[in-house]
Structure 1
Amino acid sequence: MQFKGNIETTLQQLLAQEDTDGDKKITIDDTGPKAFEITVYDNALTKAEKHIIKGTHHLSNFLQELALEKALGKTEAVIPLSKIEESPTNRISRMIKDYFWDDLTRTIDKKGIEKILTDSKAQDTVQRLYVPATDEQGISYYKSLTTTFPNLEVVVLPENITPEYVKSINDKPGILALALENESGVPFVVPGGRFNEMYGWDSYFEGVGLLLDGRVDLAKAMIDNFCYQIQHYGKILNANRSYYLTRTQPPFLTSFIREVYSTHPEIGKVWLSQVLAIAIKEYETVWMERGVRLTQNGLNRYYAQGIGIPPETEEGHFDEVLAAFAKAYSKKQNIHQPFTIRTFAEAYQNGTISVPELDAYFTHDRSLRESGHDTSWRLDDVCADLNVVDLNSLLYKYEVDFAYLVDTYFNGAFQGRSSDFFMSKASERKKRMNTLMWNEEQGQYFDYNFKKQEQTHFESASNYFPLWAGLCTQDQASAMKDTLMAQLKEKGGIAGTSRKMNDEFAYKGPQRQWDYPNGWAPHQMMVWRGLLQFGFEKETQELVYRWLWMITRNAVDYNGVIPEKYDVVATTHKVFAEYGNVGTEFDYITTSGFGWMNASYQYGLTLLSPDLRKKLEALLSPDELF
């Protein structure tokens, strides 16, 4: 059976009856009758009968389907009843596969440039596109577009991009060019919401979902864009915005390459050879340059360069910090007329005053953002002094992946390097991590402060990256499994940090978005895979279920919402820490969800047992099952 009717008339009637709070959604917060009568027809559209759509989920499905039909320019819709009364998990998964990935895809070319350059992050009427000096093809192509787009300003970057230069263009923000192929932009997937740029570690996790949904074209394209960034910007960027030029992100490139090529070897060995060479270049020049991101003890840190206050933050984000520094500076300089926050910030930014301690604070802050965990009390005002567990686990995985790829596809030798060379690097890193980071008593790895020469003992989901990377022993993994479940497991999955850490650091200021009680998709996905690698099926099933239940419950109750993050304690998408929650603002339907959240749902469904899948369809609470 199927609904057939006028879209606009039906929309208005449906909203008038069921959308009682006027937000253009149908949610559990609405107080309508939750029952809407429609006429349905047989497949031949000849036999009609009345049908009542019941409940928040089915009503919001109907609203979404009407919106999709309207977006196609139709005035009359024919919608199968099976879509209106589609089960929650099937609907979420289908929407991700059929709609969300395409809606999140961008290109920087004539076809896609306007959408990117006129987004909410553009600060004036000028649409700036920065192009590397080394990309002659890009310079020529993008300059040719200025006749079509009169507000487009193409800026050629200097060959030597310094922190001083990046600071000089902070008031002239713009998008950084990515790869072109036959005068078409190589596509990439953005996180969602306000984001129109390609982010570092988001892209890998999106790639996991893309591969599951048969979109190897997009997964491969993002690797190609990463390689472009390494070749022309010297690193995989935090994201391709001008103010990120001195900042990278967590390294997942080898995992991305390995997963794409192993599932689609038809891409060809020529491509594999090219991207492997570029990945090794990134490893050696970005991560293994001593004194920058490689410290004296042989382990790594995040270390983002830059000058002054990071410009991408919302106004007021640093007010508390600036107020404290302004007060201290005034007292130290014996200034009787104290600075206000604004006058102090202006004087600091333009170089009128020098505050080395504040320089150090912002080095830590930029490095924290480079880590992808922006922000967390774990890294606040200390990040650049830490050998962090997450980064060193990822680089161990790089070294193991290099060894595997060289051994498997290049007979053990590649461009003068052997698979044994990379395995020895991995072995050395593993020994150092076990010496400096492993805590037998507490059953987990901890970040290591190399200046204080001590572990931080900060309980965080990032402490469990060694499970995913496969660098721990079975005994260590067993201890970590127990600690993880005791410290970080909440009703909706794994929290970013423990309740204990929240209690200890609450005095320092506002809640940080990567900390308790919030949970994030990349942590869940890495923990699941890590636990499975060591045979912990029971714990994996429970954690997958908790996370998918929370996503499904929120989508059912709130018009299909798939946001950036969740409060895993209250199991809600209503998260207001720092930057709020991206992906929650939409009318009628979300057509994109959020990149790595979409991926976590698709990945989780592949792991969940048939029995738990049935229980998920029935939305049985984790409290009833575990």
Structure 2
Amino acid sequence: MIFKLPIEETLNKLLLQEDTDKDKKITKEDKGPKNFTVSSEDGKDYEVKGTYFLSNLLQELALEKKLGKSEAIIPLYKIEEAPSSRIPRMIKDYFWDDLTRTIDEKGLNAILSDDKTSGGIQRLYVPHDDEIGKAYFKNIQKQKGNVKVEILPKNITPEYVKSINTKPGILALKLENDKGVPFVVPGGRFNEMYGWDSYFEGVGLLLDGRLDLAKAMVDNFCYQIKHYGKILNANRSYYLTRTQPPFLSSFIREVYEADTSIGLDWLSSVLKIAILEYNSVWMLPEKRLTSNGLNRYLAEGIGIPPETEPGHFDEVLAEYAEKHELSVMEFEEKYASGKLTDKDLDTYFIHDRSLRESGHDTSWRLDDCCADLNTVDLNSLLYKYETDFAHLISVYFNGELVDGKGVKTTAGFWSKRAEERKKLMNSFLWDPDKKTFFDYNIVSGERTNFESATNFYPLWVQSCSKEQADLLVKKLCKAFKAKGGILATTMTAVEKLAMGKEQKQWDYPNGWAPHQMLIWKGLLNYGFEKVAHEFIYRWLWMITRNAVDYNGTIPEKYDVVACTHKVYAEYGNVGTEFDYITTSGFGWMNASYQYGLSLLPKNLIISLDKLEDPDTLFSKT
């Protein structure tokens, strides 16, 4: 059955009847009759019933309207499409393209016109040693009066970065043939390429056959390392002193193994740059490498992170303002300008910027201590770098590779380096009594005992023994299982360390896509298929239930206990604000759906479409 519908007339009638809260969506909270009649091409009336099917109709009308049509031709199957077919189809056909950006003449308008510009001036910062970029963007500046191109100095210091915080701008990325190499943004208010988000988006892109975009993002990462010295938190000027969790080796390996016809020249080039990043960003003594041989996050910078919302640090600043007998506003102004100094507060912000470098902004696990921690997640990821380097050099380069400085490096060297790290992780991070991994505080000389999903990263990188894996899975199922998936931290940890304080977005009761995806694969690595399938189902059920009830909403994060996207901690929830239809979702959430669906057995996909409650479903097994 096919419906040929006048778009404006049908939209207006549908919204008037069904969108009773006037938010331009049809959700379970609307109080309409949940029954709307349309006529097919052969003149037969058809009743569209229920929130999900009505919202599908609304979305299809919106898609046709976006194409500039006055009349929509909509087949019945798109209205009554099963969620496990519709959600991945929307992600593959619409969301990835809508989230794609380029730093070039065509792409700059969308990026430079967002609310992160300052004083109406659209600033673009270009590396001093990118001759192609300098010439290209200077030419754009001549053509566009509202674009201001700034050339970065050779030596980018924290002092310099602070000096340009009052005139923020986007940072240039790679150009090829006068076109920007594309990248995928997280969604919503984000128009920049983020560090670890990009890897997880890449997992979804590869599943959806978008090798072009995944490879392009690796190329942009390599550009960042070459010209900015690191993979950036994101390509904004105020992130120049901060990196993010290291996933480049995994990204390179997965892109290349998806299509080896890319060629060994490409693999050799990007692998050398990844080794450069490993050595120059992560392995400098007394920086991110600590004296015990393990690593920490340690972001540079001066003062208050400028990207935070007004008032974000008021609770912290109030304590110091009282000490200096000033109001919070007066203290903040004097501290920011350098008229007043406070070493303790300086230390707090070292920890805070390092916490943001970790990607977990924010969590009580890392608050006011991050730079003192050998974290389980970071050391696991660097173990993965070492084993990836060993694998790629062994398989594709006959066991040895000449790096970017002309020095020969071998697969054996990296295997040995990985084994050394594994021993250190077992010595410092593994708690034999509590039978799990914890972050290690290099100042106190003790493990933190903070229960976090990041403690399970060794499953993903396969650095733990089978005995350790068995113990970790018992802990995971006992303490981290929620109705909607895996908790970011346990309730016990939050109560112990943050009693009476504000909720942080990376803590209980929230759950996040990267944790789910890494732990699923980790469980499968060690043969825990049934456990993995249950956790995958719980997460996909929550996303599907939410999309069915809320007009296709795919948000940034969830409360996995209440199974809701209505999460208001700190920065709110990106991906929930749209009219008629979301055409982008949220990057790593999209990827988690595609990835989870690729791993789920067919019988559980059938249950997913029926929205069978996970607690009921898995109580049977």
TM-score scaled by structure 2? 0.98
Q: What letter is aligned with 1:89?
A: S
The answer on 1:91 being equivalent to 2:86 is yes
For residues 505-548 of structure 1, give each alpha carbon's deviation from its aligned partner in whole angstroms, at most 9, with x where no partner exists. 33252100000000000000000000000000110010000000
Q: What letter is aligned with 2:579?
A: D
Q: What letter is aligned with 2:13?
A: Q
Q: Is the 8 A contact 1:488 1:494 kept in 2?
A: yes
For residues 162-206 of structure 1, give each alpha carbon's deviation from its aligned partner in whole angstroms, at most 9, with x where no partner exists. 000000011101000000000000000000000000000000000
Match of 1:353 among 333, 340, 346: 340
Match of 1:514 in 2: 506
Distance 2:254 2:76 in 1: 38
Task: Report SS of the residue matched to 1:77.
Answer: strand
Instruction: Within 5 Å, give how 1:607-618 maps onto structure 2.
Output: 607-618=599-610
Q: Is the 8 A contact 1:130 1:156 kept in 2?
A: yes
Note the C-alpha offset of 1:88: 1.1
Instruction: Within 5 Å, give how 1:298-309 maps onto structure 2.
Output: 298-309=293-304
The answer on 1:426 being equivalent to 2:418 is yes
Match of 1:498 among 487, 490, 495: 490
Instruction: Within 5 Å, give how 1:304-315 maps onto structure 2.
Output: 304-315=299-310
Note the C-alpha offset of 1:144: 0.6
Distance 1:625 1:281 in 2: 48
Distance 2:369 2:66 in 1: 49
The answer on 1:292 being equivalent to 2:287 is yes
The answer on 1:155 being equivalent to 2:147 is no
Q: Is the 8 A contact 2:364 2:498 kept in 1?
A: no
Q: Is the 8 A contact 1:294 1:300 kept in 2?
A: yes
Distance 2:145 2:53 in 1: 46
For residues 291-310 of structure 1, give each alpha carbon's deviation from its aligned partner in whole angstroms, at most 9, with x where no partner exists. 10000000000000000100
The answer on 1:100 being equivalent to 2:90 is no
Q: What letter is aligned with 2:508?
A: Y
Q: What letter is aligned with 2:394?
A: D
Match of 1:334 in 2: none
Note the C-alpha offset of 1:327: 1.3
Match of 1:268 in 2: 263
Match of 2:379 among 392, 406, 428: 392
Match of 1:591 in 2: 583
Instruction: Within 5 Å, give how 1:49-64 maps onto structure 2.
Output: 49-64=44-59
Distance 2:188 2:84 in 1: 22
Q: What letter is aligned with 1:383?
A: C
Task: Report SS of the residue matched to 2:31.
Answer: coil
Note the C-alpha offset of 1:124: 2.2
Distance 2:257 2:80 in 1: 38
Match of 1:548 in 2: 540
Note the C-alpha offset of 1:568: 0.1
Q: Is the 8 A contact 1:442 1:483 kept in 2?
A: no
For residues 222-279 of structure 1, give each alpha carbon's deviation from its aligned partner in whole angstroms, at most 9, with x where no partner exists. 0000000000000000000000000000000000000111111010110000000000
Task: Report SS of the residue matched to 1:48.
Answer: coil
Distance 2:263 2:556 in 1: 35
Note the C-alpha offset of 1:119: 1.0
Distance 1:74 1:369 in 2: 45
For residues 542-567 of structure 1, give each alpha carbon's deviation from its aligned partner in whole angstroms, at most 9, with x where no partner exists. 00000000000000000000000000
Task: Report SS of the residue matched to 2:40.
Answer: strand
Task: Report SS of the residue matched to 2:499.
Answer: helix
Distance 2:357 2:596 in 1: 27
Q: Is the 8 A contact 2:389 2:411 kept in 1?
A: yes
Q: What letter is aligned with 1:528?
A: W
Match of 1:333 in 2: none
For residues 48-71 of structure 1, give each alpha carbon's deviation from its aligned partner in whole angstroms, at most 9, with x where no partner exists. 200000000000000000000000
The answer on 1:129 being equivalent to 2:124 is yes
Task: Report SS of the residue matched to 2:231.
Answer: coil
Note the C-alpha offset of 1:504: 1.6
Q: What letter is aligned with 2:401?
A: F
Match of 2:236 in 1: 241
Match of 1:377 in 2: 364
Q: Is the 8 A contact 1:186 1:225 kept in 2?
A: yes
Greater mean alpha carbon deviation, residues 146-155 or residues 107-116: 146-155
Distance 1:19 1:474 in 2: 54
For residues 338-358 of structure 1, give each alpha carbon's deviation from its aligned partner in whole angstroms, at most 9, with x where no partner exists. 211111011111111110000
The answer on 1:619 being equivalent to 2:616 is no
Distance 1:32 1:149 in 2: 49
Distance 2:436 2:226 in 1: 37
Q: Is the 8 A contact 1:565 1:581 kept in 2?
A: yes
Change in Cα spacing, 1:508 to 1:325, as seen in structure 2 (3 Å) is farther
Match of 2:453 in 1: 461
Q: What letter is aligned with 2:336?
A: Q
Note the C-alpha offset of 1:9: 0.5
Distance 2:409 2:437 in 1: 30
Distance 2:49 2:588 in 1: 31
Match of 2:395 in 1: 408
Give 5+ residue unaligned stretches, structure 1: 42-46, 331-337
Match of 1:140 in 2: 135
Identity of aligned residues (%): 65
Match of 2:405 in 1: none
Distance 1:509 1:362 in 2: 18
The count of residues paired between Structure 1 and Structure 2 equals: 613
For residues 478-513 of structure 1, give each alpha carbon's deviation from its aligned partner in whole angstroms, at most 9, with x where no partner exists. 000000111111000001000111222332521000
Q: Is the 8 A contact 1:563 1:583 kept in 2?
A: yes
Task: Report SS of the residue matched to 2:150.
Answer: strand
Distance 1:346 1:50 in 2: 66
The answer on 1:579 being equivalent to 2:571 is yes
Distance 1:8 1:195 in 2: 31
Note the C-alpha offset of 1:120: 2.2
Moved segments of 4+, more than 3 Å: none
